[in-house]
Amino acid sequence: MRSRVAIVGAGPAGLLLSHLLAAEGVESVVLETRSREYVAARVRAGILEHSTVELLTGAGLGGRLRERGDEHRGIHLQWPHERHHLDFVDLTGRSVWVYGQTEVQKDLVEAADARGQDVRYEVTGVELHELTTERPHVTFTAADGTAHRLDVDVVVGCDGSFGPSRAAVPGTVRRSWERTYPYSWLGVLADVAPSTDELIYAWHPEGFAMHSMRSATVSRLYLQVPNGTDVADWSDDRVWDALATRLGHGQDGWELTPGPITSKSVLPMRSYVQTPMRHGRLFLAGDAAHTVPPTGAKGLNLAVADVALLAPALAELLVKGDTALADAYSDTALRRVWRCTHFSWWMTTMLHTSGDRFDEQLQLSQLRWVATSEAGATGLAENYAGLPIGF
Ligand code: APR
Ligand code: PHB
């Protein structure tokens, strides 16, 4: 087989890249280990930055998002006995949208079908070859068991934290930075109307809690739990009790309404960055190059920002033979990657309790400053609603 670009991974990064490349007249083949149904149903985060919404809309992917998504002006930040609303629109002129990554993924799969995009689901044994030559290629076994070789001009690794692409950059070239956190999130989806208009991020001595949502009838809630927590230890009643305590049920007349829990899972938290994001004819985008903890919902937005830079860079390279944007890709993308890595780390360490009494006082002091100083609030708002693509 021959194509211009091999894209490994059909998550949001891979499918959006194939979409943007198609709009530039660049043909690609997407290879994915999972089934199409699995990919379109995965539950992930649900906040889209201003620039993400603009980019998706500009790419013709904003229809269902604007119909079913919900525009939020900001978030509520709270700690015991205090709740403050941060209005991002007032502070920065930028809003965010609540629209699940699952929905973004469905829109991308539908758009891929509509343009006849070549996506090979349920492939195995994907291997990347000769990435520093003019003739890179990828070998894989298709779902029907047949072996294939795909010859391309460029390979893009959009295969997340566990795919083969990041390891295809030789150890002598790559550098990585990592932080693991001493806590995880227990995430639940519940068939109940959200008890809040906008997201609540709550600091509490028993641990962080967050109230998010997916629609007018589905709530998404999270609790800080120790690493290694078994969901079996968290009955629905225990989850709702902990949420009520940490989110402040009964304070100033606010009530948390419980409802049937439809999904429960434990998410580990990690920061990871690998550089460079380009090696020869291999480019990395999204979780293949970096992972952020979920606090602040940057994972999907960062993947979108990467491919928003990469698509025009590859089009210039492959259509006009101009290498400037492709050469600049890694450094340009990494500026935002590190900004979001810092922001996610900052939100995470400000809001999660570690058991250290000194840290606790610093966290509360920082929260008070962010919530009550315009300078503090604007810093959070600018990062949360997101810097412009290419910043
Ligand atoms: N071959 C082909 N595909 C692979 C392989 C492989 N060897 N290994 C993994 N994949 C696929 C995964 O099955 C997944 O569908 O690559 C895809 C990677 O998608 P994501 O993990 O969603 O990563 P990305 O597209 O970069 O999106 C980043 O999504 O994962 C969340 O939290 C993350 O919000 C962030 C965003
Ligand atoms: C979510 O809705 O899943 C979500 C929202 C905000 C976050 C993290 C996750 O910071």
pLDDT digits (tens, 9 = 90+) for 368-377: 999 999 999 9
Encode 331-346: b = buried (16+ Cβ within 10 Å), e = exposed: ebbbebbebbbebbbb
Mean pLDDT rounded to a whole number for the chain: 96
Ligand 2 lined by 297 (C-beta under 6 Å): yes
In angstroms, rounded to a whole number, what is the distance separating the alpha carbons of residues 196 and 262?
19
Nearest CA residue ID for atom 3, ligand 2: 45
Ligand 2 lined by 100 (C-beta under 6 Å): no
What pLDDT is recorded for position 381?
Answer: 98
Residue spans of the chain under pLDDT 50: none
Close Cβ partners of 338 (under 8 Å, ≥ 6 residues apart): 273
What pLDDT is recorded for position 43?
Answer: 76
pTM for the full model? 0.96
pLDDT digits (tens, 9 = 90+) for 134-145: 999 999 999 999
DSSP letter for each residue of 169-225: S-TTT-EEEEEEEEEEEEEEEESS--SSSS-EEE--TT--EEEEESSSS-EEEEEEE
Joined tokens for residue 207: 């641990």
SS3 content of the chain, % helix, strand, coil (to 5): 40, 25, 35
Ligand 1 lined by 286 (C-beta under 6 Å): yes
